[in-house]
Structure 1
Amino acid sequence: MFKTLQVFSVLGIPVHVTTNYPGWLIECLQESRGTHVVTLNAEMTMQAEQNPILAEVIQKADLVIPDGAGVVLYLRWLFWQKVERCPGIELAETLLQEIGKHLTDTKVFFYGGAPEVAAKAAEFWQQEIPSLNLVGNYSGYHTPEVEAQLKQRLTQLQPQVIFVGLGVPRQELWIAQNRHLCPDAIWIGVGGSFDIWSGTKSRAPAWLGNNNLEWLYRLYQEPWRWRRMLALPQFAVKAFIYRFTARGAI
C-alpha cells in the first residue's frame, strides 16, 4: 500500500508532500513501479514557466519534491502546511544507504557530471557502502556515439535506480525521453550531487541550509550564476500573486 501523497500547485507546477519520501520510493522499488523524481526549486519553477516542454515533463513526473527553500516557504506561508525541505542530494543519499543495507540486489547507475566526476562519485559510495551494487557510470559530456553506447548499456543492465546529474532542464528532459529504456526504474535528477560526492565541490554548511540560505553559498562558489538567481525574487512575487488569483491546491 503506497504512502499518501498530498499534491499542491506552485505556479501551476505540482508538488507532492509526504512525511517519508525515501519510504515512498522504496515501496516503488519493491513493486517495480517506474518513477520519475523531480527535485523542484524556485529556479526550476521559473524555467518551467518559460519552457512549456519542461513544464509538461514536470507535470507528468511521478514525484515532485520540495527541494528549494522558496517552494517550501510558499507551502508553509500560503498553504499553512508543515512541510520540511527535502534536498534532492539528501533524498538520494538516504535512498543509497537504504539500498546498500537492505536491498543489496538493487542495481544502481550514475550518469552525468564532467569527465571522471561520476566515476569518482561511484568510487566514494562504493567505499562508503561496499555492499552497494553500483553497476555503471557515465560522464555527462560525450559524443553521440558514446550516447548510443550509454543507452545500449542501460537497456542491457536494466538498473533499478538511475541518478542523472545533467543540470536543469537537461536532466529532466533526458529522463523523460529515455525512461522507456528501463521502464521499471526509479529515475532521479540529482543536479550537482555528483560534484559533491566526488569531492569536486563542497556543500553549504548546515547552518546555511537550516536557514534556507544554501543558495547563497552556491552563489559564492559559482558567482557566474547571479543572473539565474534573479529568478528567486521573481518567483516570490509570481507565487504570491498566483496563490490569490488561481486555485493553489490540485
Structure 2
Amino acid sequence: MVFKKVNILGVPFIHASMEQFINQLHLHIINNEKVTVVTANPEIVMKAKEDSYYMTLLRNANYVTPDGIGIVKAAQLLGSPLPERVAGFDTMIELLKLGNIHNYNIYLLGAKEEVLEGAKQKIKKDYPNVNVVGSHNGFFDWTNEEIPNQIKSLEPDLVFVALGMPRQEEWIFSQIEKFEKGIFMGVGGSFDVLSGTVNRAPEIWQKLNIEWLYRLVKQPSRAVRMMALPRFALEIFKKKVLPK
C-alpha cells in the first residue's frame, strides 16, 4: 500500500491509522524488505525546519508518522486531517505484539546498559516469542564497524534505535545502505519506559492529549526542549492565516 502524504512545514507524514501502518510493516518483514521509520513530533519538525540536513533525512525516510497530538491538530488546521496519532512507543509495542505472534527477531540499540537490560527483560517476560538476537547500549564509537556488521550478520526483522533525536535518525541513515532487510526505527526514550525506569503518563493524561505536560512535570529538565511546542504552534498559525 502506498500511503498518501500530508506535508506539515516540509515534513511528509503518512496518512494512515496505526492498524494500517502495522499491517504495512508486517508485509515488509514478510517480503524481507528494508525500510526506515521516523516517528516525528513537533520538536522533530522544528529541528528539521531549522536544519536542512535533518530535513533531508526525514524526507528520505520510507515512513514518517505523527508522534504527537500537535501534529494531528496541525494537519487538521491546515485542511489535511490525519486519521490518528501514530506514536513511537505505541508503534514499538504493536510491533512487539506482532513479533510475539510471528517470532520476530529484533535488535536493540541505545540507552544506558542498565536500561537496555531492563528493556530486554521486559520483552522476554511480556513477549516470550520475540527473539532479541542482539543489543548494544548507546555509548559507542560511530566509526567502529562492529555494530553494523553484527546487525547485518544477525539479519533482525526489527531494529529499534534509542539514541534520541536527532542522533538516532543520523545513525540509521548513515548506516542503512549496509543492510539488506529489516525495519529500522528510532524510538527515542522508549527503552526507558519499557524498562520501567521512566513511567509513561497515566491513561487519563494520554486520553486528554496532555502526555507532554505529564513528562514536563516529571522531568522539568525538558523545559528547554518543550519550547519547540509554542514555536511550532506559531509556524502553523502563520501557515494557516497568512496569504500564500
Give yes or no for TM over 0.5.
yes
CA distance in structure 1 between the partners assigned to 2:178 and 2:155 by the alignment: 8
Moved more, 120-129 or 55-64: 120-129
Q: What is the TM-score of this pair, normalised by structure 2?
A: 0.93
2:166 corresponds to: 169
C-alpha separation between the residues in 2 aligned to 1:234 and 1:220?
A: 20
2:158 matches 1:135:
no
Percent identity reads 31
8 Å Cα contact 1:168-1:191 kept in structure 2:
yes
CA RMSD of aligned residues (A): 1.7
Which residue of structure 1 lines up, in the alignment, with residue 4 of structure 2?
A: 6
Uncovered stretches (5+) of structure 1, i.e. residues with no partner: none
Partner-residue secondary structure (3-state), 2:160: strand
Q: Comparing 221-230 with 187-196, which one deviates more in the overlay?
A: 221-230
Distance 1:208 1:226, change over 3 A: same
1:76–1:83: 8 Å Cα contact kept in structure 2?
no
Structure 1 position 108 matched with structure 2 position 106 = yes
Structure-to-structure mapping, 1:57-72, within 5 angstroms: 57-72=57-72
Aligned match of 2:149: 152
Cα distance in 1, alignment partners of residues 243 and 54 from structure 2:
21
Query: How many positions carry a matched residue from both structures?
Result: 242
Q: Is it true that 1:91 corresponds to 2:88 in the alignment?
A: no
Alpha-carbon distance change, 25 to 243 in structure 1, aligned in 2, over 3 angstroms? farther
Is 1:43–2:43 an aligned residue pair?
A: yes
- Cα distance in 1 for residues equivalent to 2:42 and 2:192: 21
Distance 1:143 1:38 in 2: 23
Q: Distance in 2 between matches of 1:34 and 1:246?
A: 41
Which residue number in structure 1 is paired with residue 123 of structure 2? 125
Structure 1 residues 246 and 218: alpha-carbon distance in aligned structure 2, compared to 1, 3 A threshold? farther
Deviation at 1:114, TM superposition (A): 1.2
Partners of 2:221 and 2:233 lie apart in 1 by 22
Structure 2 residue ranges without an equivalent (≥5): none
The one-letter code matched in structure 2 to 1:152 is N
What is the SS of the residue equivalent to 1:65? strand
CA distance in 2, matches of 1:244, 1:31: 45
The letter for the 1-side match of 2:36 is H
Whether contact under 8 Å (1:159, 1:182) holds in the other structure is no
